Amino acid sequence: MALWGGRFSSETRNDVAEYTESISFDQRLYQFDIAGSKAHVTMLAEQKIIPDATAKAICAELDKIEHRIETGDFHYDIAMEDIHMHIESALIDVLGAEGARVHSARSRNDQVALDIRLYLRGEVDFLIGELRHFQRALVARAAAHPRTVMPGFTHLQHAQPVLFAHHLLAYVEMLDRDAERLADCRKRIDVMPLGSGAIAGTTLPINRERVRELLGFSRVTRNSMDAVADRDFAIELVSALAIFAMHTSRLSEDLVLWCSQEFEFIELDDAFCTGSSLMPQKKNPDVCELTRGKTARVYGALTALLTMCKGLPLTYNRDLQEDKVAIFDALDTVKKILKVYPPMIETMKLREAKMLAAASDPALMATDIAEKLVEFGVPFRTAHHRVGEFVKYCKEHKKALDETTLDEMRETIPEATPEFLTLFNPVESVGKRDIVGGTGFDQVAKQLDFWKKTLDF
């Protein structure tokens, strides 16, 4: 009979047990369930709710159970539903009635809420560390190519020359905000729910602050109903993971394009690519493509959590058991991305000549001409229009912008001087963008120095 089975007159059907079990996925919470139980019984003994000897015996047996789980010497049975019931049942098997005291002043509702918060707190700390590693890989690659010029894109069309390093550092900025979101989310995870009971707390004289202290939480929950019923902290975390996945998906799309024969800006190491089962010549950037697909998977986890919680009345409902499936999958997916991307970036080869050639189309310096006119006192909109007419003139006469004479340029840009004919060098164009946040050489060097210091290179 299940530990909750006192009021039932028949056993749970096998197919129902299979349908309702969560041990197949929540067993990863065993360390946190054991840590929570040890803190709980320590407090119970201090409050004279259970004997000191009982608390010590329970803690000692919990250590043994943890060792059994870690060494593979622990039997799982779907009839006991979840990791919480497995551990409690194992205690009772050895300690009998004294082991059953572990659940005094506690419900599985607040127990589950505690375990998931303990688990997520550690996961967030790990993820932030991995994000920093990812940032370091991008910064190192950028620093290795501080003067490589490439075309920047808007609407997937060549826009203006930029530094390759500047492009990579844009993703470093995105990842930094991802880390900030995780750190901020951790504040709302780091709240101790144990003592809330099933819904209304307990009549026993427990000390919730003591449990908080033992488990290292920053504060305790203020409302017992909210503590067991909501999963917004987990939804917030998965939302942050979805934003991170979106950022890596965008980076992946850049890499896929840059690898293509149409671009040929980079080559990914063979270790991060696969071939075709039919076409012997193929080298496919599968890691990047899969990341775009796995981003959809993280989005799915977020949608599942939001949809699961949207119609639940207060307080706890069994629907919430399914939260762990989505949470674990999102975390596992993101951790895989974070494991594979730094070494892929570190081993990426650049074709700098191809990048520079693509950035050398004189049309990419059209904005430089307009801004030179502004220096001459021409209003920018007027300058923009005149340069647009100049581009149109060149198109109609099948000439590159740098192939015109000064007289031809003056047909649409009457203010043009011989200096205007020198504005078509992409390297010089990049160098002139020496403003904070710009792609100029000095500015990017300052960005690199900032990130090296920030990330403890």
For the chain, helix (H) and strand (E) counts, in that order, are 19, 6
184 class by beta-carbon count within 10 Å (0-12 exposed, 13-18 middle, 19+ buried): exposed
Q: Which helix (H) or strand (E) holds 393?
A: helix 380-396
pLDDT tens digits, 21-47: 899 999 999 999 999 999 999 999 999
**Mean pLDDT on 269-291:** 95
- Note the pLDDT of residue 14: 80
Catalytic residue among 9, 10, 75, 155: 155
Mind giving me the DSSP string for 151-209?
A: EEEETTEEEEEEEHHHHHHHHHHHHHHHHHHHHHHHHHH-EE-TT-TTTT--SS---HH
User: Which one is predicted more confidently, 5 or 127?
Assistant: 127
pLDDT mean over 374-396? 97
Could you read off the pLDDT of 164-195 as tens digits, one per residue? 999 999 999 999 999 999 999 999 999 999 99
pLDDT band at 17 (very low <50, low <70, confident <90, very high): confident
Per-residue pLDDT at 19:
79
Query: How sure is the predictor about 5, in pLDDT bands with cuts at 50, 70 and 90?
Result: low
- Three-point CA angle 120, 310, 223, nearest 5°: 60
State the alpha helices, DSSP H only, in 347-379.
Answer: 352-359, 366-375
State both tokens at 78.
């779907």
pLDDT, tens digit, for every residue of 412-444? Answer: 999 999 999 999 999 999 999 999 999 999 999
pLDDT in tens, 59-74: 999 999 999 999 999 9
pLDDT of residue 20: 78
Please report the DSSP string for 267-288 in residue order.
Answer: E--GGG-B--SS-TT--B-HHH
For residue 434, the number of C-alpha atoms closer than 13 Å in the C-beta half-sphere is 6
Mean pLDDT of the chain: 96
Express each pLDDT in 346-373 by its tens digit. 999 999 999 999 999 999 999 999 999 9
User: Alpha carbon 58 to chain centroid distance?
Assistant: 38
Q: What is the pTM of this model?
A: 0.94
Task: Indicate which residue of 276, 277, 397, 429 is catalytic.
Answer: 276
Residue 289 has pLDDT above 70, yes or no: yes
| Known catalytic membership, residue 155 | yes
pLDDT-derived band at 75 (thresholds 50, 70, 90) equals very high
In the predicted model, is pLDDT for residue 133 greater than 80? yes
Radius of gyration of the chain from Cα atoms? 31
Distance CA 60, CA 63 (A): 5
Is the distance from CB of 99 to CB of 37 less than 8 angstroms? Answer: no
Q: Give yes or no: 218 in active site.
A: no
Kindly list the structural domains of the chain, giving each domain's residue range(s) and its CATH number in brackets, ordered by start: 5-104 (1.10.275.10), 109-357 (1.20.200.10), 362-454 (1.10.40.30)
pLDDT at 4 over 80: no
